[in-house]
């Protein structure tokens, strides 16, 4: 165990650094996600590859600096495990031998997942309130990037265009289903992840929409749903009845 004062000071420096770098890293996170989307669907131009390399270098430098400052190294690694994996995966692309192996497709799936994780963190930092708007924006992002991943894995099999993949992903995430089912192992696993996300999130979206309409009905005095005003009036009537009963019981 280190000196408590030193540990506290290092933690304060780490928090201050994260606060300073939050806005730039949010912008770079969205740019990284956009480049990943473009790579999966259309590929990258040399200029885009250079931009992706620069952004990746900034992320690596940020991670190493924060790791050096963090007082609890193992805890920092546990809390940023997906971030560490997302920074490691691009480095594996330099090994040409990896490209000829089946594992390269698995690495692309891992890049989709970790890229989405970075995008989710950037979106969470940009939208401080985790309300209905955040969930809709997050779901849209998952659908757009998930469709790019499905197109990359299944394009030759049954999703010939990105538009088709986006439509298919929307059908899966809204639980409406589709006539096509993934053929590749990576596509099947990504489909499972998308369906699991949709199962967890769309219940919240449905409940929020239902609450919105119920709230509007509650504000309408002629609606069948009892509103706050109706409840207040009912409580007032009950209180008046109680007062009347007390007066009748008093001799």
**Residue 112 · residue 105 · CB < 8 Å:** no
Task: For the beta carbon of residue 107, count every other beta carbon within 10 angstroms.
Answer: 18
What are 107's two structure tokens? 């690495």
For the chain, give every domain's residue range: 1-99
Give the pLDDT score at 97.
Answer: 47
For 198-232, what is each residue's pLDDT tens digit?
888 877 777 777 666 665 555 555 544 445 556 67
**178 vs 54: which has the higher pLDDT:** 54
pLDDT confidence of 47, banded at 50, 70, 90?
very high
For 94-152, what is each residue's pLDDT tens digit?
554 444 444 555 677 777 888 888 888 888 777 766 677 888 888 899 999 999 999 99
The DSSP code sequence of 66-106 is HHHH-S-HHHHHHHTHHHHHHHHHHHHTT-HHHHTSTHHHH
Tell the burial category of 164 from Cβ atoms under 10 Å away from its Cβ (0-12, 13-18, 19+). Answer: middle
Percent of the chain with pLDDT over 70: 78
Report the C-alpha gap between 7 and 5 in whole angstroms.
5
What are 200's two structure tokens? 């967890």
Give the pLDDT score at 1.
Answer: 47
- Torsion sign (Cα): 110, 116, 122, 125: negative
Answer whether residue 248 shows pLDDT above 90.
no
């Amino acid at each position: 165990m280190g000196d408590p004062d030193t540990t506290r000071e290092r933690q304060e420096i780490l928090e201050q650094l994260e606060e300073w770098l939050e806005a730039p890293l949010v912008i770079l996170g969205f740019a990284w996600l956009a480049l990943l989307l473009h790579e999966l669907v259309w590929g990258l131009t040399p200029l885009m590859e250079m931009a992706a390399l620069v952004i990746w270098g900034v992320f690596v430098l940020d991670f190493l600096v924060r790791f050096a400052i963090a007082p609890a190294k193992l805890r920092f690694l546990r809390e940023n495990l997906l971030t560490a994996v997302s920074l490691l995966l691009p480095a594996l692309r330099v090994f040409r031998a990896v490209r000829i192996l089946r594992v390269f497709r698995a690495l692309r799936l891992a890049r989709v997942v970790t890229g989405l994780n970075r995008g989710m963190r950037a979106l969470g930092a940009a939208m401080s309130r985790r309300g209905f708007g955040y969930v809709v924006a997050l779901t849209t992002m998952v659908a757009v990037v998930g469709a790019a991943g499905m197109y990359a894995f299944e394009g030759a099999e049954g999703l010939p265009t990105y538009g088709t993949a986006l439509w298919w992903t929307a059908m899966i995430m809204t639980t409406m289903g589709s006539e096509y089912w993934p053929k590749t192992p990576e596509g099947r696993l990504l489909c499972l992840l998308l369906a699991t996300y949709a199962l967890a999130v769309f219940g919240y979206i449905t409940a929020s929409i239902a609450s919105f309409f119920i709230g509007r009905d509650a504000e309408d005095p002629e609606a069948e749903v009892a509103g706050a005003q109706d409840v207040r009036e009912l409580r007032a009537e009950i209180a008046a009845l109680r007062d009347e009963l007390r007066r009748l019981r008093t001799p």
